[in-house]
Amino acid sequence: MFIFVLLLGGLALWQAGTAIYHLWFSPLAKFPGPKLAASTLLYEFYYEVICSGQYTRRIEKMHEQYGPIVRISPYEVHIKDADFCVEAFSPVKKLDKYGWWYRVFGGPGATVSTEHHDVHRSRRATFKNLLSPVAVRGFVPTILEKVKQAGLIMSHHAQMGRPINMSNLYRCIAADTVSAYALPASLNLLDSEDLGEEFQSGLRLFFEAATTMRFLGFLQPLMMMMPDIIFKRLLSDPAKSLIKLIRTIQRPSDMEKSRSCLIECIKTNKYREQGDFRERLLQEAEQFIVAGTETTGYALSVTTFYILQNADIQKKLRQELVDAQISLNEDDLDITVLQNLPYLSAIITEGLRFAHGVGSRLPRVNKTGDVQYRQWRIPAGVPVSMTSRLHHEDPQLFPEPLTFRPDRWLQPDSKQLRKYLSPFGLGSRICPGMHLAFSEIYIAIAYIFTHFNVENNGTTKEDLISVHDLGAPFPKRDSKGLQVTLQLR
């Protein structure tokens, strides 16, 4: 008991000491923001871990009170200024990622969590060509195959008169597509009886755990010591099959059979890092599944929801698809024809504005010099972050930001507007999967709205709108997802 009190007392003293430093002696002492947030990381911990991914919403409120730059923690500042962010995150700038923030997404071997600019560049170069627009075009038949498989499930539900959870179905399409692309075989969630429900809830757990581990990283070695038996119990079946799938990549015989895939690309590339190569492969693979599933599934769900909310939008979309006489056959589907349809494109662009990809902030570090923002000189090495959603919902940039209006992308001056839309991030760390994601979204929306009459089955905004920004955006816990009823056309 005595030792416990002593420990607690020591901890309190240490907290007080560091708080005094952070408040009065830190180089960030003069930056605006709540004093509590500046004095201890426990403030962020409360919003991110206890309230599960709510710090981004809190940061938004801070900007309302303190202006465009706020100190959000003892170590980090956040800027809400679209023009500055677009400039500061430009691809030519050699910025690092903030290691503390990113390392929880996929481990140190994954491209997404790579801290240093130069290391990242060489990693990213290994799969650059495989995700190019041309390479993705070659993959269009596979995407269509997945969408058609989903179409069969939808027809089945239509015949039974049963509503279907499109939030799940879309994530299945996304997971099966990205795994078919990045691994020697697809995860085939579309074959699962629960429409991937277990896998999706596992993904949410992954994001929650990652956010927690950011603060409790010191517990990681303890978890590593956990016996395999306990670990296996914690993993869901789909997670286990993912690991099994990746392990098979290690066998050369399977490699021969498999198509050129990302993992293989990393493996055969001249870039072969020191350290545990297998571990890195696993981390890259996991990253692709995680980065490609939740984001794409969410964007598709949100876009579909808003199409269903507005009969006029739905009618115009249908008309355009009918007039264009799009062929959705593997042999002659030309994705560029789809991508050139102005109204469909406007809908998808507006959908991405609402889905805003990664809901959380994206922190970067300039190690080479101070960053000047207005009268503020941010010392070299201090993480500076921005949040795309705050730009997407800024009424100065997008009037009536919470109204879904594809027309805003069809105006003479909408080209300029595009600059402020960054669902895929900005700069050298921009999403490499965006061409694949776009192809999936175009094909899925076009396919579904040509083959089905779709009706919302009681889904409200609250079932979709993110209230937990855990990297990826998540709605309230008891969300029903996007429930629709279908009729074959």
Ligand X SMILES: *[C@@H]1O[C@H](CO)[C@@H](O)[C@H](O)[C@H]1NC(C)=O
Of 139, 199, 305, 424, the one binding ligand HEM by CB under 6 A: 424
Q: Is 301 helix (H, G, I), strand (E, B) or coil?
A: helix
The annotation status of 431 as a binding-site residue, yes or no, is yes
Helix (H) or strand (E) run with residue 69 in it: strand 69-71
Of 165, 168, 200, 295, the one binding ligand HEM by CB under 6 A: 295
Helix (H) or strand (E) run with residue 456 in it: strand 452-456
111 binding ligand HEM? (CB under 6 A): yes
- Shortest Å distance, C-beta 371 to ligand X: 4
Of 57, 58, 94, 124, the one binding ligand HEM by CB under 6 A: 124
Q: Considering beta carbons, is residue 124 or 480 the nearer one to ligand X?
A: 480
Give how many residues touch ligand HEM by CB under 6 A. 23
341 binding ligand HEM? (CB under 6 A): no
370 binds, among ligand X, ligand HEM, none (CB under 5 to 8 A by kind): ligand X
Sign of CA dihedral 197, 444, 426, 81: negative
**How far, in Å, CA of 422 to CA of 411, rounded?**
19
423 binds, among ligand HEM, ligand X, none (CB under 5 to 8 A by kind): ligand HEM
Q: What are phi and psi of 441, to 5 degrees?
A: -65, -45
Q: Dig out the tokens for 124 from the structure.
A: 């990213």
**How far, in Å, CA of 303 to CA of 317, rounded?**
12
Q: Which residues bind ligand X (CB under 6 A)?
A: 88, 93, 95, 161, 163, 165, 167-168, 171, 200, 366, 368-371, 457-458, 479-481, 485
**How far, in Å, CA of 8 to CA of 10, rounded?**
5
348 binding ligand HEM? (CB under 6 A): no
- Shortest Å distance, C-beta 202 to ligand HEM: 18
Q: List CB contacts of 384: < 8 A, sequence separation 6 or more.
A: 76, 77, 78, 79, 88, 363, 364, 365, 366, 371, 373, 378
Q: Which of 177, 185, 182 is nearest to 263 (CA)?
A: 182
425 binding ligand HEM? (CB under 6 A): yes
Residues 264, 266, 267: CA angle, nearest 5 degrees:
60
- Shortest Å distance, C-beta 136 to ligand HEM: 9
Q: Dig out the tokens for 71 from the structure.
A: 């100190």
Site for ligand HEM in 430-449 (CB under 6 A): 431-433, 436-437
Q: Considering beta carbons, is residue 69 or 472 the nearer one to ligand HEM?
A: 472
Q: Which of 136, 203, 135 is nearest to 442 (CA)?
A: 136
Residues 360-399: x/- map of binding to ligand HEM (CB under 6 A)?
--x-------------------------------------
Q: Dig out the tokens for 451 from the structure.
A: 């083959």
461-to-243, 309, 466 alpha-carbon distances in Å: 35, 10, 9
Stretch that binds ligand HEM, among 36-44, 79-87, 267-275, 429-437 (CB under 6 A): 429-437
Chain contacts with ligand HEM (rule: CB under 6 A) = 111-112, 124, 178, 287-288, 291-292, 295-296, 299, 357-358, 362, 423-425, 429, 431-433, 436-437
Binding residues: 431
